[in-house]
Amino acid sequence: MSLRVGQGFDIHPFSDDPARALVLGGVRIAGRGLSGHSDADVLCHAITDALLGAAGLGDIGSMFPDDDPAWEGADSVALLEAAFGRVSTAWRVMNIDCTVIAEAPRLAGHKAEMERRLGAVLGAPVCVKAKRGEGLGALGRREGIACLAVTLLQAL
């Protein structure tokens, strides 16, 4: 049995645009949106990096460059699906474990929906945890949101 582990990380600052939606794990959440070339979904971006890294396929920036106008405003779930399509030709996703780091908004009421949405895309269990920056650094000062993700892949 061949197994591979991948890790992913993403971070985005909050946007100054009051009309920008906050999207995490493909779920719209009330609160200030994140700034980024796509929809800035840090959860999907971290998972995408974890999958691509475990499969030896680079990272999200290689697959979807942020200087390419084609990806401007892109739905990050669609980007995750495209990356998963490449990964799934040789690998089965065993699980995904994620930690979102944010002072606000509170994510406890949204985690189950994120897990269901992402699990449906990846055909594997997804665990979403939420932690606070405890007032430390840029995340603690509510300047943005970060996410860490790890995945285990099994060769087909």
Question: In this model, does residue 37 exceed pLDDT 80?
Answer: yes
- Residue 76: predicted pLDDT: 97
Domain count, the chain: 1
φ and ψ at residue 79, rounded to 5 degrees: -65, -45
Closest among 78, 120, 62 to 96, alpha carbons compared: 120
pLDDT digits (tens, 9 = 90+) for 116-153: 999 999 999 999 999 999 999 999 999 999 999 999 99
CATH code of the domain containing 26: 3.30.1330.50
SS3 2: coil
pLDDT digits (tens, 9 = 90+) for 41-97: 999 999 999 999 999 999 999 999 989 998 888 999 999 999 999 999 999 999 999
Exposure pattern of 94-118 as b/e (b: 16+ CB <10 Å)?
eebbbbbbbbebebeebbeebbebb
Task: State which residues form the domain around 59.
Answer: 3-155
- Residue 125: predicted pLDDT: 98
- N- to C-terminal Cα distance for the chain? 9
Q: What is the DSSP string of 53-100?
A: HHTT---HHHHS-TT-GGGTT--HHHHHHHHHHHHTTTEEEEEEEEEE
